[in-house]
Amino acid sequence: MGKKAFVFPGQGAQYNGMAKEFVDNYPKSREAFEEANDRLGFDLKKIVMEGTPEELQQTMVTQPAILTASYSIMTAVEDSGIDCDYTAGLSLGEYNSLIKAEAMNFGDAVNVVRQRGTFMQEAVPSGIGGMAAVMGMEYETLRDCLKEAQVEGVVEMANFNSPAQMVISGSLKAVELAVSIAEKKGAKKAVMLPVSAPFHSSLLKPAAQKLQEVLLQTPVYPLKKSVVTNADAKVIKSETEIVPSLVKQVDSAVLWVPSINLMIDEGVDTFIEIGPGKALSGFIKRIAKTKGASVRIFNVENMETFDLLKREFTSGGE
């Protein structure tokens, strides 16, 4: 049998009521939200379960909310006896992968990502930065579009999500110009994203520096799993690499395509997306297809998807 990987979603995957069925059915899942509430000093569980989308969209809430929802689901998956060899997360999701690898404590991670969200928001005033998704365009062509658009300011590659989708980030006017140029040069689709800051661009360097100070005071431990990082698409060899990697991640591109390719090359043939949404499952499907690799992909976000996973792995499916 091939190897398994747990993958975790990032910001944008959130919705009200995420992880609710796990919180209702599993004590550990419920305890995760209670611990998060204690660490944050506000009622995260209430906002996630009963609040409005607007309350959940505040970045100092969004980041710990997704982290906690994914972690609470992961505890149920682990208790069912399903485990992984590799783990990775998209941007914010990388913190979940470090928790899974026992390299970071959940409570500490909640505290860090709340501050991470605040620093990212504060780095660039609202309305100054932006991001856009570009679909159906070769990287080289998009790179040329960005060069042209840089007359209006900073615009850079932010995410290599799948062979069919890349994300760009930077100053609003430059991103808007890049979208217009990409459409003229044949992109299938280029759309501005509803985000409040230019994530994964050099404009977030001040946030990265502030985050570094927080991370240097946060305990990290030897890794028990192979964690593939966004910033370099490599397996972290030692816990000394964790903080530099998380700092670099803030203001550089998310290398999701090479990260998935690396895991496939290392023998991973089963990917289990844990947390809200199934965006990563879609990306992995396209990456594997382009590579000509045969993989199985599961996402676990409610009892129905969890039951499917358990049937696969507890009834001779392995």
315 is catalytic: no
Q: Tokens representing 298?
A: 């599961």
* Predicted confidence (pLDDT) per residue in 283-296, tens digit: 999 999 999 999 99
> Which of 166, 195, 224 represents a domain boundary (last residue)?
195
* Predicted confidence (pLDDT) per residue in 117-132, tens digit: 999 989 988 889 999 9
| CATH number for the domain harbouring residue 90 | 3.40.366.10
- Residue among 200, 226, 245, 259 flagged as catalytic: 200
| CATH number for the domain harbouring residue 178 | 3.30.70.250
- Residue among 70, 91, 169, 259 flagged as catalytic: 91
Number of structural domains (the chain) is 2
pLDDT surpassing 90 at residue 316: no
* Predicted confidence (pLDDT) per residue in 30-57, tens digit: 999 999 999 999 999 999 999 999 899 8
294 is catalytic: no
pLDDT band for position 315 (50/70/90)? Answer: low
pLDDT band for position 196 (50/70/90)? Answer: confident
Mean pLDDT of 83-107: 97
**111 and 213 housed in the same domain:** yes
**306 and 225 housed in the same domain:** yes
Q: Which residues pair with 244 in a beta bridge?
A: none
For residue 194, what pLDDT is reported?
Answer: 78
**176 and 221 housed in the same domain:** no
**100 and 170 housed in the same domain:** no
**224 and 118 housed in the same domain:** yes
**94 and 140 housed in the same domain:** no
Query: Measured between alpha carbons, how far apart are the two ends of the chain, in Å?
Result: 7
* Predicted confidence (pLDDT) per residue in 266-280, tens digit: 999 999 999 999 999
For residue 121, what pLDDT is reported?
Answer: 86
For residue 179, what pLDDT is reported?
Answer: 97
**219 and 154 housed in the same domain:** no
For residue 190, what pLDDT is reported?
Answer: 96
For residue 1, what pLDDT is reported?
Answer: 72
* Predicted confidence (pLDDT) per residue in 221-261, tens digit: 999 999 999 999 999 999 999 999 999 999 999 999 999 99
* Predicted confidence (pLDDT) per residue in 69-87, tens digit: 999 999 999 999 999 999 9
> Which of 195, 229, 247 represents a domain boundary (last residue)?
195
- Neighbouring residues of 135: CB distance < 8 A, sequence distance ≥ 6: 164, 165, 187, 188, 189, 190
**20 and 49 housed in the same domain:** yes
**217 and 94 housed in the same domain:** yes
For residue 197, what pLDDT is reported?
Answer: 85
pLDDT band for position 28 (50/70/90)? Answer: very high
For residue 44, what pLDDT is reported?
Answer: 97
Give the integer Cα–Cα distance in Å for 157 and 139. 9
Mean pLDDT of 186-203: 92
**221 and 188 housed in the same domain:** no
> Which of 149, 170, 195 represents a domain boundary (last residue)?
195
pLDDT surpassing 80 at residue 314: no
Mean predicted lDDT score pLDDT of the chain: 95
**287 and 223 housed in the same domain:** yes
For residue 53, what pLDDT is reported?
Answer: 92
The answer to whether the pTM exceeds 0.75 is yes
Mean pLDDT of 131-153: 97
pLDDT band for position 198 (50/70/90)? Answer: very high
**14 and 108 housed in the same domain:** yes
Domain of residue 234: give its range: 3-123+203-314
pLDDT band for position 317 (50/70/90)? Answer: very low
pLDDT surpassing 80 at residue 93: yes
